Amino acid sequence: MQRYRDYAQLAEDYSAIPNPYLLATTGLSASGKSCVSGSMAAELGLIRLRSDVERKRLFGLGPLDQSKSPTGEKLYTEEANQRTYERLAELAGALLTSGLPVIVDSACLKQSEREMMADVAESRGMPFALLHCEAPLESRKEWARNRSGDASEATEEFLEEQEAWLEPLTTEEKTHTIHLYTDQEHVGEAVADRIRQHFGLPGM
């Protein structure tokens, strides 16, 4: 009887149509964005889109294939960045229109990139929030050094170069931004609770 109840509850959970909304990460590479977005996707039932994965798909590569692209070349030119964010916006928009909540896992270092994500939700009258992920440089270097089996190709050297590209959040952006210090424990679960409260979502 308990197994039946468990299966019945599972079927009910799967059949529930969530309220669509869009979350997007912002932050330097190796700042814990993928860990946070993965945890939140599981906690909140979100569809997760990753820039590292979609970028490689645009160039015919698998998620774990190594492009061996130098900084600013091949997969990491300005044109490639633009194509990647346009693809993320396209996919996120289609999913939101279908009634599914989405989290976009990307750096969104430039204001134009963050605005592109915000426009996807706002043009559909749906809620949007930025998740600004931060971590100490030494922690980020260690994560980059030890990371394996992941779509990201960020190296320790790249981390320092990337800081020059960061465009600070505007005053307006800060009104819908949640700041996360990802070197703290259980940060994904904690921010999932904040999102539930912010958007008035039911608990899991």
- Is the model's pTM score more than 0.85? no
Higher pLDDT, 47 or 143: 47
Question: Crossing angle for the helix pair 51-58 and 78-97, nearest 10 degrees?
Answer: 110
Higher pLDDT, 155 or 81: 81
Quote the pLDDT of residue 194: 83
Report the CATH fold assignment for 27-198: Rossmann fold (3.40.50)
Give tens-digit pLDDT for 8-42.
776 665 555 557 999 999 999 889 999 899 999 99
- Where do the H-state alpha helices sit in 45-186? 51-58, 78-97, 111-122, 137-146, 156-162, 171-174
Contacts of 83-90 with C-beta under 8 Å, sequence gap 24+, read 83/58, 84/51, 84/54, 84/55, 84/58, 85/51, 85/113, 85/116, 85/117, 86/116, 87/54, 87/57, 87/58, 88/49, 88/51, 88/54, 88/117, 89/116, 89/117, 89/119, 89/120
Quote the pLDDT of residue 153: 66
Lowest mean pLDDT among 26-35, 57-66, 95-104: 57-66
- Tell me what the mean pLDDT of segment 107-135 comes to: 96
Query: What is the pLDDT confidence band of residue 143, given thresholds at 50, 70 and 90?
Result: confident
Query: What is the pLDDT confidence band of residue 117, given thresholds at 50, 70 and 90?
Result: very high
Quote the pLDDT of residue 11: 65
Burial degree of 200 (CB within 10 A; 0-12, 13-18, 19+): exposed
Quote the pLDDT of residue 88: 98
* CA atoms 108, 111, 112, 116: torsion sign: positive
